[in-house]
């Protein structure tokens, strides 16, 4: 279902069934491999936006969503967004993501 909602030429997404950690010193638990995979998508598909979707749970409630820019040079800027999907309220959560994607289109 998410694949159908989030298909857009200038946006790639990845979904992970791993729990993040509310610890910035540990990069929130985002693995180097996950970021490398997103970088590979960025290079392959020439996208300007990458979304990583992680399951929401109580330990990360304080984080909300995380967004940062990766700048290689003035012509290569990619926005990376880490967002959470509430699996207990899946439809509402996916609907909110779809609304955000529509706003960014």
pLDDT of residue 104: 62
Question: Tens digit of pLDDT for each residue in 8-33?
Answer: 445 555 555 677 888 888 888 888 88
β 76-85/66-73 pair status: antiparallel
pLDDT of residue 13: 54
Domain range list for the chain? 2-104
pTM: 0.69
Question: Tens digit of pLDDT for each residue in 69-98?
Answer: 877 777 778 888 888 888 888 889 888 887
């Amino acid at each position: 279902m998410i694949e159908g909602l989030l298909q857009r030429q200038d946006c790639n997404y990845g979904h992970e069934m791993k729990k993040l950690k509310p610890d910035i010193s540990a990069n929130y638990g985002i693995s180097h491999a996950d970021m490398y995979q997103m970088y590979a998508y960025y290079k392959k598909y020439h996208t300007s936006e990458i979304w990583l979707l992680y399951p929401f749970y109580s330990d990360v409630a304080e984080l909300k969503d995380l967004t940062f820019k990766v700048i290689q040079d003035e012509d290569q800027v990619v926005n990376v967004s880490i967002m959470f999907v509430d699996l207990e309220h899946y439809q509402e959560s996916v609907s909110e993501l779809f609304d955000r994607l529509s706003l960014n289109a």
